[in-house]
A and B are shown apart, each in its own frame.
Chain A
């Protein structure tokens, strides 16, 4: 599964730097906090990055540049155009390539003296322990709850530090979990939120610089752990508010009753994290509710025939500005109090970006007594694919 850029060096510790390396790392070597000892620690260190996306970009770039001797990259994803706004490891030419491959090319060019191992696979309960066991530090740059819990549990089982970072729109969090004296992710959050209560679609998105900042904080913590220098974030949750440009920190305590790291722990092996988090295994789950649907092609045909249809757009106003199908805009969240704007005697087709929010809208309206209402399957994305490519996808 692993592919390596350089032959494995095995357990032999490197005890010297080449003249070229001395030149490359001179700004580290002249700092007493790093020096030759520290640089050799970095060279002998093995760090595994889970995810090569937004957080993984600054992590990979800085850790490679700093001379971390062996970097493992785990990702199963392929670079797409929407990644380029924040995943600065990748260039436009990388679109369509596996992220691990594109990252390996970029990081290998940045620092040819390090070993880069790529694992083009989804991290699972079956492969996590095997992947983690060869590395000293695990860095969590993932974007979903199941993988967060998996990374935590595998790190605790193996006794390895887990450098944590997460982001949401303008806010970031970072800390170090998994140290013997410190808390783990489950000490902080014993359970994930149920799927229905995670922030809604309209609240999604992230300012591109934010993962750059939070991922850089993770890179700094990783390097400090390797050097054994300074005070790391163990037991502290760093909160970053980019809009207010404020950093705050909260105390994190090791929970004596933690199911994973407490004295009487109840978890002794990895579990099914998708089941634990109540989500289906695949990336693109269908609508949560079953409602009558119309496909984009059927809708186009009916509009062309001159059928009278009322198009209801349940996205947010800022999304309507990106593109629209000339529908009547009522954001999903406002639907309950704006229901009077709709005429239940008309035939209504509801749509959103991908068909998920509008399925909820159709479900809600059917319960409110609307009978002639359908959901546009696949939303604007499918309309762009199947009917009118001039409508941009976002």
Chain B
């Protein structure tokens, strides 16, 4: 089953500049593992050291927040889209 994971702009630098990637996965968690296995740098941006999704990263299955579904155990079906929505504050981060 193929699931598309949308990678938001702030995290594309850690994902080979890709804006999305497809994985064969039966749950949201499996798709996210596929993503962080392919792009290891992404792991620390998405997960805490003890392996929990970070509080400022929201994950949606289609248009629904997985916190209100079965979290990472939420089952996926062919053609589903998973979106990672990190908080963005606004203007420029120039330094």
Give the B-binding residues of A (Cβ under 8 A).
Answer: 53-55, 142-145, 148, 166-171, 173, 188-193, 197-206, 237, 239, 244, 248-253, 255, 333, 352-354, 356-357
> Which residues of A have CB within 8 Å of B60?
250
A206:B13 contact, CB within 8 angstroms: no
A353:B95 contact, CB within 8 angstroms: yes
> Which residues of A have CB within 8 Å of B64?
250-251
Q: For chain B residues 67-95, which have a beta carbon within 8 Å of chain A?
A: 67-68, 83, 85-95
Name 9 A/B residue pairs within 8 A (Cβ), A-sorted. A169-B9, A188-B58, A189-B58, A198-B89, A199-B11, A244-B19, A249-B63, A251-B63, A357-B95
> Which residues of A have CB within 8 Å of B67?
255
Interface size range of chain B in the complex = 20 to 34
Report the minimum CB–CB distance from A27 to chain B (whole Å). 32
Q: What CA separation (Å) do A38 and B57 show in the bound complex?
A: 40
> Which residues of A have CB within 8 Å of B89?
142-145, 148, 166, 198
Report the minimum CB–CB distance from A183 to chain B (whole Å). 10
Whether A205 touches B92, Cβ cut-off 8 Å, given contacts A169-B9, A193-B87, A199-B13, is yes
A185 nearest CB neighbor, chain B only? B87
Whether A202 touches B13, Cβ cut-off 8 Å, given contacts A166-B90, A237-B85, is yes
Interface membership of B54, Cβ < 8 A: yes
Whether A201 touches B88, Cβ cut-off 8 Å, given contacts A170-B9, A251-B65, is no
> Which residues of B have CB within 8 Å of A169?
9
In the complex, given contacts A191-B55, A333-B13, what are 6 additional A-B residue pairs having Cβ atoms less than 8 angstroms apart?
Answer: A53-B91, A144-B90, A148-B89, A189-B56, A199-B13, A356-B95
Q: What CA separation (Å) do A261 and B17 show in the bound complex?
A: 37
B92:A143 contact, CB within 8 angstroms: yes
Q: What CA separation (Å) do A100 and B63 show in the bound complex?
A: 39
Whether A143 touches B13, Cβ cut-off 8 Å, given contacts A188-B58, A191-B56, A253-B68, is no
Interface membership of B8, Cβ < 8 A: yes
A167:B90 contact, CB within 8 angstroms: yes
Question: Could you say which of B9, B55, B65, B83 contacts A203, with CB atoms under 8 Å apart?
Answer: B9
Q: What CA separation (Å) do A250 and B56 show in the bound complex?
A: 16
A205:B56 contact, CB within 8 angstroms: no
> Which residues of A have CB within 8 Å of B55?
189-191
Whether A171 touches B8, Cβ cut-off 8 Å, given contacts A203-B13, A249-B63, A356-B95, is yes
> Which residues of B have CB within 8 Å of A239?
83, 85
Q: What CA separation (Å) do A55 and B95 show in the bound complex?
A: 21
> Which residues of A have CB within 8 Å of B90?
55, 142-144, 148, 166-168
Report the minimum CB–CB distance from A332 to chain B (whole Å). 11
B87:A192 contact, CB within 8 angstroms: yes
Report the minimum CB–CB distance from B84 to chain A (whole Å). 11
Q: What CA separation (Å) do A144 and B87 show in the bound complex?
A: 11
